[in-house]
Structure 1
Amino acid sequence: MKYTYLLFVAFCLLFFWGCKEDKTLSENPYNGGAKPLGIGFNAVIPPVPIDGSSGTTVTFTASGLLKYKGAISFSFNGEEAEIIDIQDNAIVVKVPAMASSGAVSIMVEDQVFYGPQFKVLGKVMIDPFYKAINGANNLVRSYLKLDDGRYILTGSFSDYNGQANEASPIRRIVLTSASGELDRSLRFGSGADDQINSVIQSPNKQNFYVGGRFSSYDRMNRFISNITRTTVNGTADSIRVNTYSTPFNGKQITVPAFSGGISGSVLKLFNSGNQLIAVGNFSHYVKRNYTNGRTIVITNPLTQEQFFVYKDSITTDSISMKQLIRFNPDGTLDKSFHFNAATGRSYEGGNGSINAAFQQADGKIILVGSFSRFNELPSGRIVRVNPDGTLDNTFNVGTGANASISSITYNEISKKFLITGTFGTFNNLPAKGLAMLNQDGSLDANFVAKDFANGYPSYAKQISNGMIIISGGFKKYSNVKRSGFIILTETGLLAPGYNTAGDFSGSIYDIIEGKNAENKTSLILLGSISKFDGKPINNITCISFTEE
């Protein structure tokens, strides 16, 4: 009993001291909606002016600032601003040179107080003349520009601009005007059952070739292995062929006119004279054999009369072809390209994946990826192959990149390549995820990439005015907040006035440069994009330059 009493007394003492200690703590500033430190933006009164460019003086209505006057910092979307004046109910600040659109904030004693969204005006805007307002419902991967200025877009989407319907489906391929309007003059039918990564047109303009990872296209729902040919109007190109049973029953079957395929995904297609080259991460060339079959003899047990049943047995022949292949126009394999006649198979290709490819005007193709060896030779994640598929030893990349390369693009005016990836050096020289190469593959020392924070660039393209568009998973560039999208000068600096757009989310896979209705530079961004300038985007949008 005495022991129980002592426990009770101890408990009471602990409770008393706990309550006493609790009374010495500061009251939770968020209880009852109280403002921490008594600071807060006025949610009703907008800033004056409501938007502005770099250097603009802006007044924000806020309370409780004077007593913290010496300890306040102010930021525009994470970029610290110069404070001009602090009053008890307002703060006057100057928009920083590298500010971008987004929420403003005040920081005092490690506490952050967020205010309204502020639009920083700059030289880039979402183009008001582009018609694809609703975008696509999935990845837009690539494009083909036709001679008349229209575009064929490909990807993983099953709707474009909200205009797909049961009678007129849109599946992984669509034709648009230069301004993004849907054009149904090409008859893609039911499209592909999975992603289309690349499309090219034959030199005689009579066919299109599409490649990716799909097994059906339009009305051809069998005998396709990731690549096929269409007619001039976009429908599946097909032929009638004899099978094993044809001599006996006179029946033929409809099959793709393009007889070949591959055992993996096509990343990119290129024309090669009247032939075509496929680049990707595949291992075999495949071709259907429609002439195999067997005859089944059935004997009537009563009359001993025999009946013959002819069964077709369509088989698939294959040849080992790694990552590179050249087809004849009908889909048969060209064994003069990337092929070792002594072994009856292709050369080894890369020991890692190919992530991107570019074809030069002379027919040579540059491949980039995660491979450190190609055709059993050291490669540094980048190689150039000759028109016959052999390695080009004149490509002067040295040791190449020390980690994976994700993209490569080329500018016809500057004659420079841009590569992006997770690498930190190129040919043993610093190159922080982004590098500019000369035509011979050597590093361009005039371009110096700054530090990317919290991620890497995944795509870069230099446009005709010399500026460089970059996207990726990074959060800062050169210690300036830029959420995944930046525009640089030719030397690698943030282009003044071109980096005011708000937050970006997603990945850019390609960019179409053109002119908008006011003859201003416009850039159609293709990819897996959910946000640009803080606004929702469905995988395709167009931006334009207000000044150049």
Structure 2
Amino acid sequence: MKLVMKYGVGLYGVLSLLTGFSGCEELDHSISEDPYGGGKVQFDLRLLSEDPVPAKGYPGDTVVFKADGLLNYCVPEKGEYAFKFYLGEQETKILAATDTTLTVRVPDECVSSNTYLVMENQVFYGPYFPIEGNISVDKSWDLSAKVVDGIVYGSVSQYGKPQNNYLVGGFQHLAQYEHWCIGHVNSKGVVTRWSSSDFGTDYGVKPSSFEGDTPPYINSISAFEDGRMLVSGMFSAFEVYNPKNGGLYDLKDRVYVNNIMVLRSNAHPDTTQQYVFEDAGKESNGKPIRYSFSKLNGGSLQPIVRSFVTSGQKIVAVGNLTQYVCNEYASSYVDSKQRISPVASAFRMDDCGVLDSTYRLVDKVGHYSGAGGGIIADACMDKDDGVVLVGSFTSFDGVPVPGMVRLDAGGNVDHAFLENLGAGPDGNVTMVRYNKALDKMMVVGGFKHVNGQPRQQMAMLNPDGTLDETFVPREIGGGTVNFAQLIDKEKVIVSGTFSTYGGVPRLGFLILEMDGMAQQKFNVPGAFNGQLYHVAETETTLGSYGLLLMGSFDRFNGQKANNVLMLEVNLDH
């Protein structure tokens, strides 16, 4: 039997035949249309992937792209084109066409991107076209092209060497080297090996310090005046190496801590050594063992959101904290005990870990209750040692607050700040970044207004809580803002999932003016994918002005990236 399978007729006949054998119910005879019909015709035109002339350009430039088969779908002398051309994710004016070339004008405001033709909803891709401007990736900065396999939360310049940086985060490797949560990078972006003169620690936070399935991380780093560094986050051990000494054991040991510790200027743990027995009343081969203990004998049983060094060189820790903890050491390591004290969202201690009894200790009547109705997501410290906390909380120490509160230098709620803040943000605040030189802060989150004024997802605040009236964000489309930071050069660096800003395609990354305007010359990069957590002003490998971007991102300007990148930014013109 020969079956005809054209336009569904043969299929219907087969089904009818089968129903005769099986006794099935009669089929719906309305089935008559060709199920294979309606396919789109493939148009015979192409936009070639070869570089156009010029291969990159500025807004307003005329560019000639190479193509094939265009004259079948246009009448150039009449300016009639059945297809559309897109550059910078927007339709671009076509100036002329031949069968093998397409001449277009670069839009006045656009970003670097792939180019493509659209013909009746069919897309024909062409080459990537870079838009020229005052910003570019420093490709000579070595770590930009290497593996950084986790979030980079922040950095601090090495004492006396401002172009060398310690990076902290949730990574396990920097380049090909194993560095858990902390590493050192020189001015060329080259990662320093551990146990060098610049980087005296071994591996950093070790994987044995996992709590459950969550890897350890360092999300905050700041510096003391003498070059030591304060790091905090979620970790319980830090690697340290003890050399041979006087016949005692050569131990590669761990310094055990509670989510915070002080490092020396070369990132070696700031420790003290004690000779103790491993077990009560016992010796190891008749000798005590030298153990390293953190000089900062204080911390928290909960992960620390942020930590700061005050002007008086004391330490403030902030987060969803309820318990401060320190160790009481005995002659036997196993007999050491922990002493726990209640705290409410923040506490202060000296650099030895001694809790400051004048700062926010919970009294018997619970006067200090900390954040209520939500969590603390982030915090910053201003130049007066005041701490601004942000998040989803709706009260603090029993006082109603709009997801933001400032604690003064004594740890008390700043009621004047709250009065100036007024209704505050009308949604959660996810991040705050403070610039000491400009004495202003940026907040981002899921809000649309701040104290009744339109501020879509980001706002600039003065240190007293008043809204900066000058900075007005333009309309944000296609996504959200997840980061905004002021830099000393009076620019605002922004990242997010948005695709437009002020109606112009801007693909997840912005450099804004102090009034919120996006100047074209600073906003040429293509697609950014991820989130920034910190931007450091520094120098490029050529000694020019640079921005070190840190965060969790895998694409910048449409190219592969690995959570850290050096940009060269020309601010002169």
Bin for the TM-score computed over the shorter chain: 0.7 to 0.9
Distance in 1 between residues matched to 2:226 and 2:568, nearest whole Å: 34
What is the identity, as a one-letter code, of the residue corresponding to 1:179? K
State the 1:529 CA deviation: 1.8
- RMSD, aligned CA: 3.2
- Report if the CA contact (8 A) 1:244-1:292 is conserved: no
Could you tell me how far 1:321 is from its partner in structure 2?
1.6
Change in CA separation of 1:511 and 1:232 when aligned onto 2, cut-off 3 Å = closer
Q: Which residue of 165, 168, 179 maps to 1:151? A: 165
Structure 2 letter corresponding to 1:230: L
* Residue equivalent to 2:272: 238
User: Retained in 2: the 8 A contact 1:385–1:392?
Assistant: yes
Q: Which residue of 1 aligns with 2:261?
A: 228
Superposition pairs of residues 354-369 of structure 1, within 5 angstroms: 354-369=376-391
The CA deviation string for residues 33-71 of structure 1, in whole angstroms up to 9 with x for no partner, is xxx33332134x532222211111112233235535344
- Give a deviation string over 1:178-226, Cα, whole Å, max 9, x none: 3323343231123113211223333344x43321111110135364211
Q: Write the letter of the residue equivalent to 2:566.
A: C
Query: What is the DSSP-based 3-state SS (H/G/I as helix, E as strand, rest coil) of the residue aligned with 1:371?
Result: coil
Preserved contact between residue 486 and residue 492 of structure 2 (Cα < 8 Å)? yes
Give the number of equivalent residue pairs: 513
Secondary structure of 2:237's aligned partner: coil
Tell which deviates more after alignment, 342-351 or 223-232.
342-351
SS at structure 2 position matched to 1:497? helix
3-state SS in 1 of match to 2:238: coil
Of residues 258, 263, 266, the one that matches 2:304 is 266
Partner residue in 2 for 1:530: 554
* Alignment-derived partner of residue 447 in structure 2: 423
Structure 2 counterpart of 1:284, one-letter code: Q
State the identity as a percent: 26
1:38 maps to 2:44: yes
- The structure-2 alpha-carbon separation of the partners of 1:362 and 1:27, relative to structure 1 and needing over 3 Å to count, comes to closer
* Alignment partner of 1:331 out of 344, 347, 353: 353
**In the TM superposition, what is the alpha-carbon distance from 1:276 to its structure 2 partner?**
0.7
Task: Name the stretch that deviates more: 529-538 or 63-72.
Answer: 63-72
Aligned to 2:319, what secondary structure does the other structure show?
strand
- What does 1:404-423 align with in structure 2 at a 5 Å threshold? 404-423=428-447
| Aligned equivalent of 1:287 | 326
The letter of the residue matching 1:458 is N
Report the alpha carbon displacement of residue 519 of structure 1 after superposing the two structures with TM: 4.6
2:6 matched residue in structure 1: none
- Secondary structure at the residue paired with 1:50? coil
CA apart distance, 1:7? 5.0
Instruction: Tell me whether 1:433 sits opposite 2:447 in the alignment.
Output: no
1:64 maps to which residue?
A: 70
Quote the Cα distance in structure 2 between the aligned partners of 1:7 and 1:361. Answer: 85
SS at match of 2:43: helix
The alpha carbon displacement at 1:361 in A equals 1.5
Task: Report the Cα offset of residue 116 of structure 1.
Answer: 1.9
Aligned equivalents of 1:212, 1:139: Cα separation in 2:
13
Match of 1:196 in 2: 218
- Report the Cα distance in structure 2 between the residues aligned to 1:136 and 1:467, rounded to whole angstroms: 27
Residue 32 of structure 1: aligned partner: none
Residue 463 of structure 1 and its aligned partner are, at CA, apart by 2.5
How far apart in 2 are the matches of 1:291 and 1:517?
A: 51
TM superposition score normalised by structure 2: 0.81
Distance 1:24 1:202, change over 3 A: closer
Partner of 1:342: 364
Which residue does the alignment assign to 1:48? 53
1:383 corresponding residue in structure 2? 405
- Correspondence 1:168-207 to 2 at 5 A: 169-183=178-192, 184-185=196-197, 186-193=199-206, 194-205=216-227, 207=228
Structure 1 263/312 Cα, relative in aligned 2: closer, same or farther at 3 Å? closer
- For residue 251 of structure 1, report the CA deviation from its aligned partner: 5.3
In the aligned structure 2, how far is the partner of 1:180 from the partner of 1:516? 9
- Give 1:475's match in structure 2, choosing from 472, 489, 499: 499
CA deviations on 1:117-165 (whole Å, 9 max, x unpaired) are 2122222100144232315221111111233313221112222232x1x
Select between 494-503 and 182-191 the one with higher mean Cα deviation: 182-191
1:394 aligned residue: 416
Summarize the Cα distance change of 1:284–1:119 in structure 2 as closer, same or farther, 3 Å threshold: same
The equivalent position to 2:468 in structure 1, one of 428, 444, 447, is 444
1:176, distance to aligned residue in structure 2 (A) = 2.3
SS at match of 1:394: helix
- The Cα of 1:511 is off from its aligned counterpart by 0.5
User: Match for residue 77 of structure 1?
Assistant: 88
State the partner residue of 1:298. Answer: none
Deviation at 1:231? 4.1
TM-aligned CA distance change 1:509 to 1:6, over 3 Å = closer
For structure 2, list consecutive stretches of 5 or more residues without a partner in the other structure. 1-12, 21-25, 75-79, 207-215, 241-252
| Paired letter, 1:476 | T
Q: Write the distance in 1 (CA, Å) between the matches of 2:570 and 2:313.
A: 42
The amino acid of 2:154's aligned partner reads: S
Deviations 1:268-309 (A, max 9, x none): 22113132111123321112334599xxxxxxxxxxxxxxxx
After superposition, residues 85-124 of structure 1 pair within 5 angstroms as 85-124=96-135
1:530 is paired with a residue of what secondary structure?
strand
Match of 1:276 in 2: 315
Could you say if the C-alpha distance between residues 388 and 116 of structure 1 is closer, same or farther in structure 2, counting changes exceeding 3 Å?
same
Q: Is the 8 A contact 2:258 2:300 kept in 1?
A: yes
Residues in 1 aligned to 2:350 and 2:570: alpha-carbon distance in whole angstroms = 47
* 8 A Cα contact 2:16 2:27, kept in partner: no
